[in-house]
């Protein structure tokens, strides 16, 4: 079982003091005792702004915006035009390059596709909202590279951005893992607020289809957003760069 690295002090610090291993499951179990299951749309008022970057980030945002249409206002970004078009999300930004395909494993491609035009569209989407959640699955080219650029372009003092990221399965190979880890370090160095989950944790769900596993992970993201948005007592945990390693 993976251990958690707490980058700064957290409400569960006493567990570390006792020498207890804190796992992803421990954290989720702890927060399930909070009020996340009882969060109603009325408590939110305005819809929560969520942004999906790349293929994986777009898939997460598509799930959340369709499962909870009254909760989220969504936009997705991707260089793969066919994949972008196929997503059932109203707001879309095509990250244009010389062709309509994805960036493959080229993170520099993803980074360079975030230009002033893209940022202007995102700022128009965000508008006056102060709290925004950005999703990306790390390891590939588009999402992995683009979130690095977003952490620089959108680093405004009056904007609270939380990056919810996933790292590749171990079997996907060291290259994808290294790309993901490099981006995580880049975001941390830019003082981005990040929460990173390992896809290996999906194996704990046992005999389920991969689609159902990802849906369960998306539901955990939904609960995290709810509690963060309502500024529950554990906001400091995720805001202080909780990373699963």
DSSP code per residue over the chain: -PPEEESS--TTHHHHHTTPPP-HHHHHHHHHTTTGGG--GGGT-SPEEEEEEHHHHHHHHHHHHHHSTTTEEEEEEES-HHHHHHS--SEEEE---SSSS--TT-HHHHHHT--HHHHHHHHHHHTT-SEEEEEEETTSSHHHHHHHHHHHHT--TT-EEEEEEEEPPGGG-HHHHHHHHHHHHHHHHTT-EEEEEEGGGGGGG-S--HHHHHHHHHHHHHHHHHHHHTT-TTHHHHHTTEEE-
Most confidently modeled range among 143-147, 194-198, 241-245: 143-147
187: pLDDT strictly greater than 50: yes
Placement of tokens 């990306």 in the chain: 136
Tell me the per-residue pLDDT of 122-178, one tens digit each, with 9 for 90 and over. Answer: 999 998 777 899 999 999 999 999 999 999 998 776 788 999 999 999 999 999 999
Most confidently modeled range among 6-10, 69-73, 203-207: 69-73
pLDDT band, residue 24 (cuts 50/70/90): very low
- Can you name the residues that pair with 162 across neighbouring β-strands? 133, 193
Q: In terms of pLDDT, which residue wins out, 84 or 208?
A: 84
What value does the CA radius of gyration of the chain take, rounded to a whole number of Å? 17
Please tell me the predicted confidence (pLDDT) of residue 38.
53
Closest to 147 measured CA to CA, from 162, 126, 158: 162
234: pLDDT strictly greater than 60: no
* % of the chain residues with pLDDT over 70: 74
Tell me the per-residue pLDDT of 67-85, one tens digit each, with 9 for 90 and over. Answer: 999 999 999 999 999 999 9
- Can you name the residues that pair with 72 across neighbouring β-strands? 48
114: pLDDT strictly greater than 90: yes
Ramachandran area for residue 95 (φ above 0: left; ψ -120 to 50: alpha; else beta): beta
């Amino acid at each position: 079982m993976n251990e958690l690295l707490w980058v700064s002090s957290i409400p569960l610090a006493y567990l570390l003091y006792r020498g207890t291993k804190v796992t992803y499951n421990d954290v989720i179990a702890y927060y399930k005792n909070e009020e996340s299951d009882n969060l109603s749309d009325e408590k939110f008022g305005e819809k929560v702004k969520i942004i999906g970057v790349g293929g994986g980030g777009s898939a997460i945002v598509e799930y959340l915006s369709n499962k909870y249409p009254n909760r989220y206002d969504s936009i997705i970004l991707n260089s793969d035009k066919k994949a972008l078009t196929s997503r059932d999300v109203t707001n879309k930004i095509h990250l244009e390059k010389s062709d309509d395909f994805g960036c493959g494993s080229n993170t520099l491609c993803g980074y360079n596709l975030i230009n002033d035009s893209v940022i202007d569209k995102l700022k128009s989407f965000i508008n006056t909202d102060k709290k925004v959640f950005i999703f990306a699955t790390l390891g590939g080219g588009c999402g992995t590279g683009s979130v690095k650029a977003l952490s620089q372009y959108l680093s405004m003092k009056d904007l609270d951005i939380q990056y919810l990221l996933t790292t590749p399965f171990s079997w996907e190979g060291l290259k994808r893992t290294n790309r993901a880890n490099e981006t995580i370090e880049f975001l941390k160095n830019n003082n981005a607020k990040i929460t990173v989950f390992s896809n290996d944790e999906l194996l704990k769900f046992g005999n389920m289809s991969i689609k159902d596993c990802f849906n369960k992970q998306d539901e955990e993201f939904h609960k995290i957003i709810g509690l963060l948005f309502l500024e529950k007592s554990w906001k400091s945990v995720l805001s202080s760069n909780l990373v699963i390693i």
